[in-house]
Amino acid sequence: MVTGQGAAFPPAIGQRAAWDGYFASHYGHDRKIERIFLGCGVRARHAAVDPRADDVSGWTTGARMRRYVAESAPLGRDAVARALADAGLAAADVGLFVVASCTGYATPGLDIVIAGELGMPAHVRRLLVGHMGCYAAIPALGAAADFVRARGSPAVVLCAELTSLHLQPPSAEPDLGQVVTHALFGDAAAAVVVEPDGAAGLEVLDTAAMTDAGSAGLMTWEVTDHGFRMGLSPKVPDVLATHVDDAVAGLLAPFGLAAGDVAGWAIHPGGPRIVDVVAERLGLRPSQTAATRDVLARRGNCSSATTLLVLDRLRRDQPPGAAGHVVAMAFGPGLTLCAALLRAR
C-alpha cells in the first residue's frame, strides 16, 4: 500500500520567459516554432539547469553526467525524506530502495548515495531502473509492491529526472520533434513509500504493460556525444490510441472492473494530444483528466516522475474517507504503455 508521497523541484521557469530568454534565439526567432513552444500546454516547469544562465547545448555527455550527480542527489534525498515523513517511517525502516531515472548515470548511483545520506540500513536491498523513460514509475512501483508482499517490509520508490541537462545543439534545419521535447520537459524528483499494511493509502493491486515493437522508432532516447537526444514522432498519439482500450481492459477485467468503474486517473501528461487521445478512447470526462493537465501546466513532462506527481495530486484532492479504484498510466519508448491499478482506502 502506498502510504506516503513526497516531491522536490529545482527552481521554476515560466514558459514565456524560457522562450524570450533563450529558445527564441536558439531557434532563430522562428514564429512557427514559437507557436509550437508556447502552445504545448506548459505554463511553467522546473529546471536544474536554466538555459538562460547555463547553455549546456554544447556540453559533452561527461560534463552533463557530472552535473547530474551534483543536482539529482539533493533533490532525490529531499523527495524521499518527505515521502518517509508523510508515511511516518524512518529511513532505517526501509527494506527496498528502488530508483528510476533515464536522464543520468553514475556509479556509485543515486541508490547508494541517497541511502547512505538518509541513514537507510546497510542491508537495504536496492534496485536501479534505468533508461526505461517516462513509464518507469509503473514497473518500479510493481517491483516495490511485490517485494512488500513477499517480505513484509517497507519499500521506497524514487523517480529522479533532470531533462534540462539534455538541451541539444541547434541544427541548420529545426527538428520539430526536438522543439516539442524542449517545450514539454521539466525536472523533478518524486518518491512514494509502499508498506505491507496501513490505515489509509493506495493499495497496489496489479500492473500491466503493452509494447508495440513495430513502432519502436517513434520514440527514442539516444546517448550522444552531447547528452541524450530524444526522437519523438507526431504519430505517437495515434499508435497509443490503438492500444489503450485493450491495455486498460486487460488490467481491469480480472477484478471485474471496466473503465467506467475507475474513480481516479493518473495519466502521464506526455503532451496535450496524448491526453486528449486517451480521454477520448476511454470516455473520460474533463474532470477526470484535470489533475494530469494541471501537472503538465505547472511542472511540464518530468519523465518518470510525472505519473507520481499526478498520483499525489489525486490523493490530495480526494475527500476524506473517499475510496475507489485508481489507474496510473504512462507511455514511453518501445512504444510501450504501462499501467497500474490501485485501490484507495
Give the model confidence (pLDDT) of 106-140 as tens digits.
999 999 999 999 999 999 999 999 999 999 999 99
Bridge-based pairing of strands 44-46 and 12-14 is antiparallel
Place of cell 524514487: 158
Could you please report the per-residue DSSP string of 32-62?
A: HHHHHHHTSS-SEEE-SS-TTT---TT--HH
d(CA 66, CA 121): 27
| Residue 221, beta-bridge partner list | 230
Q: List, for residues 244-271, the tens digit of each pLDDT value.
A: 999 999 999 999 999 999 999 999 999 9
Of the candidates 40, 102, 134, 338, the residue annotated as catalytic is 134
d(CA 55, CA 228): 15
How many Cα atoms occupy the beta-carbon half-sphere of 233 within 13 Å? 16
Note the pLDDT of residue 322: 62
**Residue 197 in grid coordinates:** 499494511
| Residue 319, beta-bridge partner list | none
Structural domains in the chain, CATH included, are 2-194 (3.40.47.10), 202-344 (3.40.47.10)
Q: List, for residues 83-97, the tens digit of each pLDDT value.
A: 999 999 999 999 999
In this prediction, residues 3-25 reach a mean pLDDT of: 97
**pTM of the full structure:** 0.95
> What does the mean pLDDT of the chain come to?
95
d(CA 300, CA 188): 10
Q: List, for residues 160-182, the tens digit of each pLDDT value.
A: 999 999 999 988 787 888 999 99
- Residue 299 phi/psi, 5-degree rounding, is -125, -20
134 catalytic residue (yes or no): yes
